[in-house]
Amino acid sequence: MSIVSVLVAIAFGVGACESSNTRRPAAASAPISRARGEPTHAAGPQIPPKGGIAQFTAYSADDGPRSTVVVTGVIGDYGTAFRVVPNGGKLTQELTLVLSRGSFQLGVGDLVSSLQHRLEAFPANRGTCSGRVSATASARIEDHSGTGEYKGIRGTFAVTLTITEVTAKSTRPCNSTTPFLAQAVVTTGTGKVSLKASESREKEPA
């Protein structure tokens, strides 16, 4: 699929076998760690009472709605990120982070809108049929979306979505609908997060 398919997957939360009625994934089982013989649960949230800075990186090699995600800073966790549209709605896009200690959702509708405006000139290099497109927007943690150890989490991330791809060479000039040969989709975010006082997971000093 081309970069237009990527936008559709982001905007509607669907891949080739997904439905627009996809519901929010549940954080049922812990992600599988690469470390053999090691516990699969990470430290999770260690957020001070006044809040702290967290970062995440989600990455995949295709335009599906699912990607691997790693969270650092005052949250040390990992798992899977899903782009979904709750109950089939077309105006509310979410990025759901399903981590080893729980899950929460980010509203990424503004990010999708920002990306749409950058697609007309893709790919940037029509001679090599390759290009890179990036968009940045604010994404707030959805109210009451936290589960597990993330119950009560609040905050806003500055999120950047970057898509890099090489498309097939054709007799006509390649464009945004030309099938891609290779692709990298990376989403990064940095923001201040907090937990309700009664739900803070900050460790007591030793």
pLDDT tens figures, 73-93: 999 999 999 987 666 555 568
Q: Worst-scoring range by mean pLDDT, 64-68, 86-90, 145-149, 194-198?
A: 86-90
Q: Cα-flanking dihedrals φ and ψ of residue 7, to 5°?
A: -60, -40
Burial (CB < 10 A; 0-12, 13-18, 19+), residue 32, is: exposed
Q: Are the CB atoms for 108 and 139 separated by under 8 Å?
A: yes
pLDDT number for residue 117 = 76
What is the pLDDT confidence band of residue 48, given thresholds at 50, 70 and 90? Answer: very high
182: DSSP letter? E
Here the tokens at position 54 are 């967290």
Tell me what the mean pLDDT of segment 55-81 comes to. 94
Q: What's the rounded Cα separation, in Å, for the pair 14 and 139?
A: 20
Task: Report which of 15, 2, 4, 1 is spatially closest to residue 119, judged by C-alpha positions.
Answer: 4
pLDDT at 28 over 50: no
pTM of the model: 0.77
pLDDT tens figures, 118-158: 777 777 788 888 889 899 999 999 999 999 999 999 999 99
Task: Give the contacts of 192 (CB within 8 A, at least 6 positions apart).
Answer: 51, 52, 53, 54, 155, 156
pLDDT number for residue 200 = 45
Task: Report which of 52, 96, 104, 106 is spatially closest to residue 74, judged by C-alpha positions.
Answer: 52
* Average of per-residue pLDDT values in the chain: 78
Residues 162, 187, 152: CA angle, nearest 5 degrees = 155
Task: Report which of 111, 160, 133 is spatially closest to residue 2, judged by C-alpha positions.
Answer: 133
pLDDT at 25 over 70: no
